[in-house]
Amino acid sequence: MAERTLIIIKPDGIHRHLAGEIIRRFEKKGFKLAAAKFMQVSEELARQLYAVHQSKPFFEGLVKYLSSAPVLVTVWQAQGVIDMTRRMMGATFGYDAEPGTIRGDFGCSKGYNLVHGSDSPESAEQEIKLFFRPDEIIDYELADVDWLYGKND
Ligand code: IDP
Ligand code: MG
């Protein structure tokens, strides 16, 4: 099965009306949308998602940020999707992120950076489980799959 990743449009992405724009980029790239949920994240769930950062000075602020307003949680599927989405998101801080990336095009803040994306297959698997039951992830074939991936590479 092709790789999957968890992408969250964070609270600033929703408040700044950028959810559609961010989804559009992943959709047009050719990734398959496998699951989506619009929800308010509890502080407890935010702590679980960001557990690797619990000793960092920004942790409490990060938990407050993610749980402060609704988010759009999505799962995308494609071969190599983790690396591609990370590169499309850009560097962590908006002011460092290259133009052409999501963070580089739409933000200049440090912590408010619009989007979360899993950074490895192991974290993707754990993170997807935090937000979705197995039956909420839809397995289907895209109609244009032959054109997307080509037969000559
Ligand atoms: P990533 O989102 O690019 O993977 P991580 O280092 O995993 O970046 O950090 C998780 C999130 O924590 C970031 O997306 C950002 O919102 C926030 N963050 C990271 N470093 C800082 C910081 O130094 N100050 C404030 N917020 C930070
Ligand atoms: Mg990270």
pLDDT of residue 130: 98
pLDDT of residue 149: 86
From 28, 26, 119, select the one nearest 72 (Cα to Cα): 26
116 given a catalytic annotation:
yes
**Dist. CA 8–CA 14, nearest whole Å:** 10
CA-nearest residue, atom 8 of ligand 1: 92
Angle between helices 19-29 and 81-89 (to 10 degrees): 140
Length of the chain: 153
Rounded mean pLDDT of the chain? 97
* Nearest ligand to the C-alpha atom of residue 56: 1
CA-nearest residue, atom 17 of ligand 1: 111
Q: Given a cut of 90, is residue 34 above it in pLDDT?
A: yes
Tens of pLDDT, residue by residue over 46-70, are: 999 999 999 999 999 999 999 999 9
Question: What's the rounded mean pLDDT across residues 86-114?
Answer: 98
Question: What's the rounded mean pLDDT across residues 59-85?
Answer: 98
**Dist. CA 153–CA 150, nearest whole Å:** 7
Report CA-CA distances (Å) from 69 to 10, 12, 21, 108.
Answer: 8, 8, 19, 20
Residues that place a CB less than 5 A from ion ligand 2: 119
Domains in the chain (CATH in brackets) are 3-139 (3.30.70.141)
**Dist. CA 151–CA 62, nearest whole Å:** 44
Tens of pLDDT, residue by residue over 112-153, are: 999 999 999 999 999 999 999 999 999 999 999 999 988 766
What DSSP string describes 15-49?
Answer: HTT-HHHHHHHHHHHTPEEEEEEEEPPPHHHHHHH
Question: What's the rounded mean pLDDT across residues 95-116?
Answer: 98
pLDDT of residue 153: 62
Q: Calculate how far, in angstroms, residue 153's C-alpha sits from the geometric centre of ligand 2.
A: 32
